[in-house]
Amino acid sequence: MIFPLIDPFQRRVRDLRISITDRCNFRCTYCMPDEGMVWQPREDLLTYEEIERVARICVTRWGFTGIRLTGGEPTVRADLATLVEKLAGLGVDLAMTTNGATLGLLAPRLRQAGLRRVTVSCDSLRQERFASITHRDALHRVLDGIGAAVAAGLAPVKVNCVLMRGVNDDEILDFAAFGRANGVVVRFIEFMPLDAQGAWTAETVVTYDEVVRTIDAVYPLDPVAGRGSEPAERFVYRDGGGEVGVIASVTRNFCGSCDRVRLTADGQFRNCLFAVRETDLRAVLRSGGSDDDVARAIEADVGMKWAGHAIGRVTFIRPQRSMSQIGG
């Protein structure tokens, strides 16, 4: 099933996720293969000017209200604050997803440049396990980065934890306690079949129900109504200890309300995280295409946005690119 081409933006597609690099200073099990990662040549990556142009078209033509910078790891891209300033000038809710390793140095400058919010990916609070997952002994830097983001006013600071059975599923309460103690919103994400190793199975998924049940037994929760197009089901702690969320991409998918589209670091437009086809906007941009040409290419792609990703069904087709190449 595809959505009608008559008005491809009638589904309120309003959030643009931009991967600005496929490189990273970590080598996480979830994102990257242990060996053989081939980086995009620098000249294949979109320039900041090209990124700003696509974003401006999305904002001025269709009223996009949110832009999120992702990677790879966006902070490894040189002079990131310059891109932030360009995009902040569009008047959107500008956020970034990062592994947090350099936030201790960058958070104040990025906030000054116009970044509003930040999400830090962190899959373990235990030093040895963190090092095993990321191939870097850098948990202390990530925790410092989270603190720096809070201090800089990049609020709310969110921490994303991808739960994998037998890997870190015993840290649910640790993360809940961390969020409560540090004033950050922890969001648990169900493990999706976008890992570089191709090792995903349904049995490795720690489900929404398990997460909510585990936390609620120790820190009673109340659901937050009015989810809208947000990916996370939100809960507040009954004792006033803050908020926690669960992104149930597998067991309770939110495809019907999804308002996100993606632009990869090499300029490929994707209408879904699980899309199996892409539209080459870089070719349009670099062949002298007009803004109208870019807009027509985006409209055609959005018009083929799927009704759902079909994870767990025989019809599911795994994307060729892993998470580090797509941008979350």
Q: Mind listing the domains of the chain with CATH numbers?
A: 15-326 (3.20.20.70)
d(CA 245, CA 119): 13
316 pLDDT higher than 60 = no
Residue 1 confidence (pLDDT):
35
Beta strands at 157-163 and 221-223: parallel, antiparallel or unpaired? unpaired
Residue 7 host element (H or E): none
Query: What is the C-alpha to C-alpha distance for residues 211 and 245, in angstroms, rounded to an integer?
Result: 10
136 CB burial (10 A radius; 0-12, 13-18, 19+): middle
What mean pLDDT value characterizes the chain?
A: 88
CA pair distance 89, 307, nearest whole angstrom: 33
Q: Note the pLDDT of residue 305.
A: 77
Tracing tokens 């632009």 back to the chain, one arrives at 263
pLDDT of residue 145: 98
pLDDT tens, position by position, 66-102? 999 998 899 999 999 999 999 999 999 999 999 999 9
- Report whether pLDDT(314) > 60: no
Is residue 265 a contact partner of residue 321, using CB atoms and an 8 Å limit?
Answer: no
Long-range contacts formed by 276-280: CB under 8 A, 24+ apart: 276/317, 276/319, 276/320, 277/304
Does the structure show a pLDDT above 50 at 132?
yes
| Peptide bond connecting 193 to the previous residue in cis, omega within 30 degrees of 0 | no
Nearest-angstrom CA–CA distance, 117 and 97: 9
Tens digits of residue pLDDT in 277-303:
899 999 999 999 999 999 999 999 998
Q: What does the block give as tokens for 114?
A: 């116009």
Higher pLDDT, 319 or 203: 203
pLDDT at 4 over 70: no
Which two three-digit tokens encode residue 33?
């293969």
Between 28 and 259, the more confident residue is: 259
Reported pTM: 0.89
What is the dihedral angle through the alpha carbons of 107, 258, 219, 179, rounded to the nearest 10 degrees? Answer: -10
pLDDT on residue 146: 98
- Do the beta carbons of residue 184 and residue 161 sit within 8 Å? no
Examine the pLDDT at 27 and tell me if it is beyond 70.
no
Mean pLDDT check: name the lowest of 36-50, 104-118, 162-176.
36-50
User: Tens digit of pLDDT for each residue in 223-253?
Assistant: 999 877 788 899 999 999 999 999 998 888 7
Q: Is the pLDDT of residue 200 over 50?
A: yes
Structure confidence at residue 6 (pLDDT): 36
| CA triple 61-22-80, angle to 5 deg | 65
Which of 2-11, 95-104, 179-188, 246-255 is predicted least confidently? 2-11
